[in-house]
């Protein structure tokens, strides 16, 4: 039987809870993490904008290449010869992730509630490297696929040997200098962090460097998940990065697609926002607003409140501000 797409969020909530909907995947992007206050390295004031090659441990030639293209610091081309630029630029992000400076948002908690309440969450495909999905510890780890790798897992880029996350962070704290000059305990000079297996200084978070392949789990999981998917929730992503955006058209032709975003995206991928749309639903707005509303409609608001102390302050404030909130 062909299922009509929801016409509003209440319809979406009803569909999620219906028997027709058994397998749900989420494809998320930077928009779901905005409320956490995490620095977006592409925006003004972000990593690429504020890059100071002169402070980084590198040769003059490497610095010239960074000036020409700031993404060079996160490329395999430089990392394989000189891991310091990556580690020095990423130091606050690595340590901030360990200290949970940034908190999982309402959008992240929606995925966790979806799993706990319905057992219909098949997978979260996140394009974010921030590791915030992993704060939702009640989602089984294998259900979260960080498409572009993650700050929250560590391995040797040379031999693939996994490294202990906590000891790696300690090593970064002790061995990597702070080019942002915020941490008085940081060493003045950087020194190498060696892989315990191959002894090369190539240990790093498993974020995908430019020039390297995506983690194999992306391809394995999509092959497994997509044929049976009933609902794809596309949240906070501009859908411009492939192959992550290929989920949109690799799912079956009658799988319902929901876009949660400030503006419509994915026209070129076939998402239909017109009146004759057969399977697509657009929930316009900031992720936090839309997912808060959806959680209320699903009847999970009390469960969300239980997370209040673990949410970003702006999200907690949003819940408190929400006029209808608390009226059960």
| Nearest approach, Cβ of residue 187 and Zn ion (Å) | 23
Q: Closer to Zn ion by CB, 195 or 247: give it.
A: 195
255 in Cβ contact with 232 (< 8 Å): yes
Taking contact as CB under 5 A, which single stretch among the options 113-121, 171-179, 188-196, 209-217 is the one that binds Zn ion?
Answer: 188-196
CB of 169 to Zn ion, least distance (A): 18
**Does 231 contact Zn ion by CB under 5 A?**
no
Q: Is 198 marked within a binding site?
A: yes
Tell me if 195 contacts Zn ion by CB under 5 A. Answer: yes
Binding residue for Zn ion, selected from 117, 120, 161, 192, defined by CB under 5 A: 161
Residue 158 interacts with Zn ion (CB under 5 A): yes or no = yes
Find the binder of Zn ion among 3, 194, 198, 269 (CB under 5 A).
198
- Among residues 81, 108, 115, 148, the one annotated as catalytic is 148
CB of 147 to Zn ion, least distance (A): 23
Side-chain half-sphere CA neighbours of 5 within 13 A: 25
Of the listed pieces 161-169, 176-184, 256-264, 313-321, which binds Zn ion according to CB under 5 A?
161-169
What are the beta bridge partners of residue 205?
Answer: 154
| Residue of 294, 299, 292, 297 lying closest to 317 (CA atoms) | 292
- Would you call 125 helix, strand, or coil by DSSP? strand
Taking the complex as a whole, the smallest distance from the CB of residue 155 to Zn ion amounts, in Å, to 8
Answer whether 121's CB lies under 8 Å from 114's CB. Answer: yes
Q: What are the beta bridge partners of residue 145?
A: 125
Site for Zn ion in 128-157 (CB under 5 A): 156
CA atoms within 13 A on the CB side of 153: 20
In whole angstroms, the minimum distance from the beta carbon of 120 to Zn ion comes to 39
Task: Name which of 206 and 237 has its Cβ closer to Zn ion.
Answer: 206
Identify which range of 82-90, 134-142, 187-195, 306-314 contacts Zn ion by CB under 5 A: 187-195
Output 49-55 pairs: Cβ under 8 A, ≥24 positions apart.
51/89, 52/179, 55/88, 55/179
- Cis link prior to 287 (omega < 30° from 0)? no
Q: Which long-range contacts (CB under 8 A, 24 or more apart) does 249-254 make?
A: 250/222, 250/226, 251/226, 252/226, 252/227, 253/279, 254/2, 254/3, 254/279
Whether residue 169 is annotated as binding a ligand: the answer is no
Could you confirm whether 115 is annotated as catalytic? no
Q: Dihedral through CA 257, CA 262, CA 264, CA 265, nearest 10?
A: -80
* Per CB under 5 A, 159 contacts Zn ion: yes
Question: How many residues bind Zn ion, per CB under 5 A?
Answer: 7
Residue with Cβ nearer Zn ion (31 or 158): 158
Count of residues making up the chain: 328
Nearest residue (CB) to Zn ion, 114 versus 156:
156
Buried b / exposed e over 204-217, threshold 16 CB at 10 Å, is: bbbbbbeeeeebee
List residues forming the annotated binding site: 156, 159, 195, 198
Q: Which active-site residues does the annotation give?
A: 148
Binding site for Zn ion (CB under 5 A): 156, 158-159, 161, 195, 197-198
List residues forming the annotated binding site for Zn(2+): 156, 159, 195, 198
């Amino acid at each position: 039987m062909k299922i009509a797409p929801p016409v509003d969020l209440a319809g979406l909530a009803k569909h999620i809870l219906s028997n027709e909907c058994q397998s749900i995947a989420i494809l998320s992007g930077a928009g779901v993490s905005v409320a956490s206050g995490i620095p977006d390295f592409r925006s003004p004031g972000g990593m690429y904008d504020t890059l100071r090659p002169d402070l980084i441990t590198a040769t003059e030639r490497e610095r010239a290449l960074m000036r020409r293209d700031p993404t060079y610091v996160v490329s395999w081309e430089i990392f394989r010869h000189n891991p310091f630029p990556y580690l020095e630029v990423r130091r606050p992000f690595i340590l901030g992730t360990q200290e949970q400076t940034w908190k999982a948002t309402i959008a992240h908690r929606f995925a966790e509630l979806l799993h706990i309440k319905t057992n219909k969450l098949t997978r979260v495909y996140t394009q974010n490297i921030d590791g915030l999905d992993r704060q939702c510890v009640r989602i089984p780890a294998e259900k979260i696929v960080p498409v572009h790798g993650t700050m929250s897992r560590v391995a040797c880029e040379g031999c693939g040997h996994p490294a202990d996350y906590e000891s790696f962070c300690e090593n970064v704290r002790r061995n990597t200098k702070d080019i942002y000059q915020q941490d008085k305990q940081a060493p003045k000079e950087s020194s190498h962090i060696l892989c315990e297996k191959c002894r090369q200084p190539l240990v790093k978070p498993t974020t995908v460097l430019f020039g390297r392949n995506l983690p194999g789990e992306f391809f394995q999981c999509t092959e497994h998940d997509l044929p049976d998917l009933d609902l794809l929730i596309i949240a906070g992503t501009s859908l411009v990065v492939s192959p992550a955006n290929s989920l949109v058209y690799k799912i079956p032709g009658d799988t319902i697609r929901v876009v949660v975003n400030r503006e419509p995206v994915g026209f070129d991928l076939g998402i239909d926002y017109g009146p004759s749309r057969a399977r697509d639903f657009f929930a316009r707005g900031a992720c936090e607003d839309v997912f808060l509303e959806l959680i209320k409609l699903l009847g999970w608001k009390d469960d969300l409140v239980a997370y209040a102390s673990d949410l970003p302050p702006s999200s907690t404030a949003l819940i408190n501000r929400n006029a209808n909130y608390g009226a059960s």
